[in-house]
Amino acid sequence: MQLLMPDLRPVMPEIVMTVLALLILLAELVIKRKETIAFLSIVSVAVVTYFLVGSAGTTFNGMFLADGYSMFFKLIFMLNVILTVLISVKYIAIEKVNFGEYYALILFSTLGMMIMASAGDLIVLYLGLELMALSTYILAGFIRYDVKSNEAAIKYFLLGAFASAFLLYGTSMIYGLTGTTDIKAISAYITQNGLSGNPVLMLSMILFAVAFSFKIAAVPFHMWAPDAYEGAPTSITAFMSVGPKAAGFAVLGRVFLIAFGSVRMEWSVILIPIAILTMGVGNIVALSQTNIKRMLAYSSIAHAGYALLGIIAGTGDGLASVLNYMLIYAFMNIGAFAVVIMLRSEGFKGDSISDFEGLSKTHPLASALMLVFMFSLTGIPPTAGFMGKFYVFMSAINAGYTWVVIIAVIFSAISAYFYLRVVMYMYMKESKETVQLSATPALGLALTITVIAVLAIGIIPSAVINFARSAVAGF
């Protein structure tokens, strides 16, 4: 028997990422200046991005797919790391948790996401998911002396473990039914044997839907999100509201559109109520929040609901719209968190919405940026948020789900209320106390990138749309 060396080129970015993340973990022992480590982690991401280009291909017998689809998601993950690191540098020093492991864990978590996006096999998917989740659990509880942070980590961990169990249960059922864990082979088996309507298949689809709903924080599996988002360090909240969510959508798209692609009508019955509930609960509960991180947590839940519409559409355009949405969401959400982080300073928490009172008077620039992000999250043109929603709604209507879109736009209009409330506090109220901003060049860079992206994509969205379309072309 001859052992063939597998083609490592497609998996090269992941290998490089592993090595670099380990190196950064070691570097922490030698390098005392944590800013250097932050810088090194951005360099690592740049190196990985370099390897991403030209890594297209399939390896390990189809278990690992480096296609356009995974590439797009990996670019979102890279962006997520860069922006998160930029907004973290000063923040974790203020929180007194300035440790090098922080950056290494972010990289490991991202590695997990990359594996998820490329998974061609349910086992690989599980592997990536666990790596991502475990790293994020630790990050959520990174402020060890803070009870809330601990609570966030424990809640996230316990419920995450449940979700993993659901995923494994679903996988085992699918394996029992089809005899394979390969996503393409599952699809082929289902079509060949006409398994449509099979109760075991239905049950496993439900289990998958539950597990992934947990990852993207979709209702009714969202309970962990507000507490985890509120308690976790703000930079990590930004990180996990984008990365794990995008990764969740990556596997959701892959599993439901490929493996279960032929029984779309059956799983849309599961996903449509989830999407409607997610938009409903996310937007309505957000109305009554007083903590900005909690509000953004519910907003993040709601946005998962909108993006789900693209999956439900089940078309190539639908999938492209999800990709587009995740990218835009990364920019506007991290942008908003960057402003929130600026408010945190020594001895001032700055995470209550009322802390934004009168901000426009003392800090007009920061307020103007927040205004752009809030309008973008609402989906008002000419911001990127509108383009994201528009594409998703368009693909859903094209697939015949006009009534779901009507519900979605109404919830989207309701969401204006709580996003605008932040604007209202900043511009229409007088400040009670002067808020000190902890602005740094790194934060400024992150804000510049995000605000330019939000406005540019809002005005000339063509490039991003075409990119998303070409990414799903070979799907």
Q: How far is the CB of 342 from other proteins (least distance, A)?
A: 20
Query: Which residue lies nearer to other proteins by CB, 203 or 397?
Result: 397
Question: How many whole angstroms separate alpha carbon 5 and alpha carbon 396?
Answer: 44
Q: What are phi and psi of 425, to 5 degrees?
A: -60, -40
Question: How many whole angstroms separate alpha carbon 436 and alpha carbon 258?
Answer: 51
Query: Which residue lies nearer to other proteins by CB, 25 or 420?
Result: 420
Question: How many whole angstroms separate alpha carbon 355 and alpha carbon 240?
Answer: 23
Q: How far is the CB of 350 from other proteins (least distance, A)?
A: 22
Query: Which residue lies nearer to other proteins by CB, 9 or 361?
Result: 361
Angle (CA) 178 183 184, round 5°: 90
Q: What is the 3-state secondary structure (H, E, C) of the chain?
A: CCCCCCCCCCCHHHHHHHHHHHHHHHHHHHCCCHHHHHHHHHHHHHHHHHHHCCCCEEECCCCEEECHHHHHHHHHHHHHHHHHHHHHHHHHHHCCCCCCHHHHHHHHHHHHHHHHHHECEHHHHHHHHHHHHHHHHHHHCCCCCCHHHHHHHHHHHHHHHHHHHHHHHHHHHHHHHHCCCEHHHHHHHHHHCCCCCCHHHHHHHHHHHHHHHHHHCCCCCCCHHHHHHHHCCHHHHHHHHHHHHHHHHHHHHHHHHHHCHHHHHHHHHHHHHHHHHHHHHHHHHHCCCCEHHHHHHHHHHHHHHHHHHHHHHCCHHHHHHHHHHHHHHHHHHHHHHHHHHHHCECCECCCEHHHHCCHHHHCHHHHHHHHHHHHHHHCCCCCHHHHHHHHHHHHHHHCCCHHHHHHHHHHHHHHHHHHHHHHHHHHHCCCCCCCCCCCCHHHHHHHHHHHHHHHHHHHCCHHHHHHHHHHHHCC
Q: How far is the CB of 466 from other proteins (least distance, A)?
A: 6
Query: Which residue lies nearer to other proteins by CB, 39 or 417?
Result: 417
Query: Which residue lies nearer to other proteins by CB, 41 or 378?
Result: 378
Q: How far is the CB of 451 from other proteins (least distance, A)?
A: 13
Question: How many whole angstroms separate alpha carbon 248 and alpha carbon 216?
Answer: 5
Task: Return residues touching other proteins (CB under 8 A).
Answer: 360-361, 364, 375, 380-382, 386, 390, 393-394, 397-398, 402, 405-406, 409-410, 412-414, 416-417, 420, 423-424, 427-428, 460-462, 465-466, 469
Query: Which residue lies nearer to other proteins by CB, 94 or 456?
Result: 456
Query: Which residue lies nearer to other proteins by CB, 193 or 402?
Result: 402
Q: How far is the CB of 264 from other proteins (least distance, A)?
A: 19
Query: Which residue lies nearer to other proteins by CB, 256 or 427?
Result: 427
Question: How many whole angstroms separate alpha carbon 140 and alpha carbon 68?
Answer: 31
Determine contact, residues 396/310, Cβ cutoff 8 Å.
Answer: yes
Query: Which residue lies nearer to other proteins by CB, 219 or 372?
Result: 372
Tokens of 212: 């992934």
Determine contact, residues 325/250, Cβ cutoff 8 Å.
Answer: no
Query: Which residue lies nearer to other proteins by CB, 56 or 424?
Result: 424
Query: Which residue lies nearer to other proteins by CB, 86 or 369?
Result: 369
Q: How far is the CB of 429 from other proteins (least distance, A)?
A: 8
Q: How far is the CB of 432 from other proteins (least distance, A)?
A: 16
Q: How far is the CB of 153 from other proteins (least distance, A)?
A: 37
Q: How far is the CB of 74 from other proteins (least distance, A)?
A: 23
Query: Which residue lies nearer to other proteins by CB, 100 or 461?
Result: 461
Q: How far is the CB of 392 from other proteins (least distance, A)?
A: 11
Q: How far is the CB of 465 from other proteins (least distance, A)?
A: 5
Q: How far is the CB of 428 from other proteins (least distance, A)?
A: 5
